[in-house]
Chains A and B, each alone.
Chain A
Amino acid sequence: MNAQNIAIDAAAWDSPWRRRRVGEKVLLSGSLVMTALLSDPWPGCVLVAAVALVLMLGPARIRPLLVLGVMGAPAVFLLIGTLPVAATWHGMGDLAWGNLGWATDGFALGPLRITPGGVARAAALWAHSLAGTLAVILLATTTPMVDLMGWLRILRIPDPLIEIASLTYRLLFLLLGTTLAIREAQRARLGDVASWRRRWSIVANALGSALITTWDRATRLQAGLEGRGYEDALLTLSPTRARSWAFLLTGGACLAGIWSSSLAWTLWGAR
């Protein structure tokens, strides 16, 4: 977890889309995620990625650098993650690890073989995954988590569950801040140049201290809330947001465009 990740939440609070209905944003993002999963990589997934990017950088006013920072690591992870799909396993029997180089059906890497078909499968998977991730990020950068938690009440999820989830979210930042402060203090006391065995102990102490501090703060939060009459549920008022037909119709038009392009491409290919 780093500053970029916290920046997602900060961007969500600042985005003009914060004032939009959560249900409408969930519907749009969810539809894009499902489209990325179900449609062909070309043109379906490419269009989903393009729509998500245009919406984030355009009407939602998310900074391009933030999008780049947030998507950089996942894009690399996804690329690395597709490598095994590109490779086929030929077993240890007929191929040794010393076998390295081009073979008739692809590149041999010991018992693994990277074939053009495998690379195409991996590329398709990467497109599905990247487009889906962008669609999720569209929701994350335009909707603060507390709004999503409030929206879950509409789905009749019991209050104690939503409260625990909301408290977990709030305590994340406290725990992260506490851990960073403890690590900084340990570094200042030359904790990082201690022996290997001592360093293990230092890390465990840091985690334990962070956990205890968070527990302590959580208990005090509980006491404070009880003092203000907290009994059952931590209900908060949320602003009334009007339904935007323009938003819904634009989102629907984007999805219809993606699906009709995919269909047209499939029919064109079948001719």
Chain B
Amino acid sequence: MHIAEGFLPPLQCALWFAASTPFVIHGAREVIRKAKESPENKMLLAAAGAFTFVLSAIKLPSVTGSSSHPTGTGAGAILFGPPVMAFLGTVVLLFQALLLAHGGLTTLGANVFSMAIVGPWCGYAFYRLVRRVNGPAWLGIFLAMAVADLATYCTTSLQLALAFPDPVSGFAGAVTKFLGIFALTQIPLALAEGVLGILLFGFLGRVVPHELRRLGVLSSKNTGAEKEASHA
């Protein structure tokens, strides 16, 4: 999903940077607040950033000027909230551009907007919605992971369509083209990421329920898993 270096026209690069900056600054303030709250949080956030990097570095080629891979930002949004992911996602994207030549520096603003802002916020919105209506936790996690992934790819498609409107059918034709091509790889990948999220949080709930409770993912009523873990 990362748009490669040099793919966007200069004006659009600047506009996406301008659009992303307020979210990243807001996220950075949140990160500083969490770091001051407890020094342990610093390490936890760094570990989450590294986890997102490794997960989103697994890339598959996609014929859209971009690539397909799990994003991992849905899990981060559940654990730390979307503002924190705006900052962590920016760090991860910067590392990927420099260490993996994956994404780019001039396209960083556009990539941050899709992967670190739109994806986590959309995923988190679905997660909160399911929790609000007392839906099952697994459904909230599944939707958070899958929707974060799909929202990221839809945003990337729109960004690419804006940059490369089809000479014949214009913006609408370009959106159809990019979304159609992404759908081939991304819909199965998003569903897979959702399933993986359920299994991952199930594992974390069994092994480190206290951490999930500290982060507000598990409510204090959910003591079954913790009891099971302490018995083990």
- Which A residues are within 8 Å of any B CB, using their own CB? 1, 5, 8-9, 30, 33-34, 36-38, 70-71, 73-74, 76-78, 80-85, 87-91, 112-113, 117-118, 125, 128-133, 136-137, 139-140, 145, 148, 158, 160-161, 163-165, 167-172, 174-176, 179, 200-201, 203-205, 207-212, 214-215, 218-219, 221-222, 226
State how many angstroms separate the Cβ of A222 from the closest Cβ of chain B: 5
Q: How large is the interface on B (under 10, 10 to 19, 20 to 34, 35 or more residues)?
A: 35 or more
Q: A158-B28, A222-B43 are in contact. Are A132 and B173 (CB under 8 A)?
A: no
Q: A129-B7, A208-B204 are in contact. Are A84 and B181 (CB under 8 A)?
A: yes
Contacting pair B54 A218 (CB below 8 A) = no
Q: What is the chain B residue whose CB lies nearest that of A205?
A: B203
A-contacting 9-mer, from B93-101, B112-120, B123-131, B219-227: B93-101
Instruction: State the main secondary structure of chain B at its contact with A.
Output: helix
State how many angstroms separate the Cβ of B144 from the closest Cβ of chain A: 15
State how many angstroms separate the Cβ of B103 from the closest Cβ of chain A: 9
Contacting pair B42 A167 (CB below 8 A) = yes
Q: A33-B106, A77-B4, A81-B7 are in contact. Are A175 and B51 (CB under 8 A)?
A: yes
- Which B residues are within 8 Å of any A CB, using their own CB? 4-7, 10, 13, 28, 31-32, 35-36, 39-40, 42-47, 49-51, 53-55, 57-59, 61-67, 87-88, 91-92, 95, 97-102, 104-106, 160, 164, 166-169, 173-174, 176-178, 181, 195-196, 199-200, 202-204, 207-208, 211
Could you jot down 8 A-B contacts, CB within 8 Å?
Answer: A84-B177, A88-B166, A132-B6, A136-B101, A161-B28, A164-B42, A168-B91, A215-B211
In the complex, which residues of chain B have a beta carbon less than 8 angstroms from the beta carbon of A174? 50
Q: A81-B4, A132-B104, A136-B104 are in contact. Are A214 and B199 (CB under 8 A)?
A: no
In the complex, which residues of chain B have a beta carbon less than 8 angstroms from the beta carbon of A158? 28, 32
Contacting pair B7 A133 (CB below 8 A) = no
Contacting pair B54 A1 (CB below 8 A) = yes
Contacting pair A145 B95 (CB below 8 A) = yes
Q: Known contacts A133-B4, A145-B99, A211-B47; can you find 9 more A-B pairs with CB under 8 A?
A: A36-B5, A70-B101, A73-B101, A81-B7, A90-B169, A160-B42, A165-B49, A211-B51, A212-B208
